[in-house]
Structure 1
């Protein structure tokens, strides 16, 4: 199972998953217990990605972030990806919680989601 965590510095869970460029990618089938660091190009960021071809986060089963807009959540739902939002800021603790099937702390309010909601009204997604 692949788990992707949105991050700004590869240690903390970041908000706004649709705008995240940095991700920690954990693969339970990989030989290493350490997550891979992924840096998306601007075109690969989900707010800009057109859905054509392969993506570095293909085959991810779970995405963890502090916040995500409805458009992002709909796109991930169509891909069969579960989006978990959390107030947990430590990426390692969030990963352990997901792997141990523990409940993550609730996310805090993100005012940028109001703008995302407005943008989603006019989006093709």
Structure 2
């Protein structure tokens, strides 16, 4: 399983996942319970690779992820990721390692905090191609 976490400076879980350029990618395909988490790979997206504008016309650095984690995301982003075979989890957890630990333990993530940009995205998503 591969989990990508939208981040701000690769240190905290970021909101507005569709605009996020910095992601931590955890490849958990070899991970076993009770072992330390593998170090994540840092992924810095180019402007044309940001998922809000990406045209799905070529390979993407986040191809193959099973779960995307962010503090907020619009409905268009969630639909786009579902088409790509990825589930989106939103959380109020700010620490990426704690978010991963909770997911692997089967624990619920804290609810996301209110983010005005999500409300604006929902309005824009009414006219989105996704």
TM-score when scaled to structure 1? 0.94
User: Could you say what secondary structure the match of 1:3 adopts?
Assistant: strand
**Counterpart residue number, 1:43:** 48
Instruction: Give the Å deviation of 1:103.
Output: 0.8
User: In the alignment, what sits opposite 2:28?
Assistant: 28
How far apart are 1:30 and its partner, in Å? 5.4
Task: List per-residue Cα deviations over 1:44-71 (Å, max 9, x = no partner).
Answer: 0011100111101000000110000000
In structure 2, the residue matched to 1:12 is: 12
For 1:92, the equivalent position in structure 2 comes to 97
Which 5+ residue runs of structure 1 have no aligned equivalent? Answer: none
Task: Indicate the SS of the match to 1:38.
Answer: strand
Counterpart in 2 of 1:118? 123
After superposition, the C-alpha distances for 1:89-119 in whole angstroms (9 at most, x for unaligned) are 0111011111222110000111111221221
After TM superposition, the runs of 4+ consecutive aligned structure 1 residues lying more than 4 A away are none
Preserved contact between residue 11 and residue 92 of structure 1 (Cα < 8 Å): no
User: 1:81 — aligned with what?
Assistant: 86
How far apart, in 1, do the equivalents of 2:87 and 2:40 lie?
A: 18
- TM (normalized to structure 2)? 0.91
CA-CA distance at 1:29 after TM superposition: 2.5
Q: CA deviation at 1:80?
A: 1.7
Cα separation, partners in 2 of 1:30 and 1:38, compared to 1, 3 Å? farther
What is the alpha-carbon distance in structure 1 between the residues aligned to residue 10 and residue 19 of structure 2? Answer: 15
* Correspondence for 2:34: none
Distance 2:21 2:127 in 1: 23
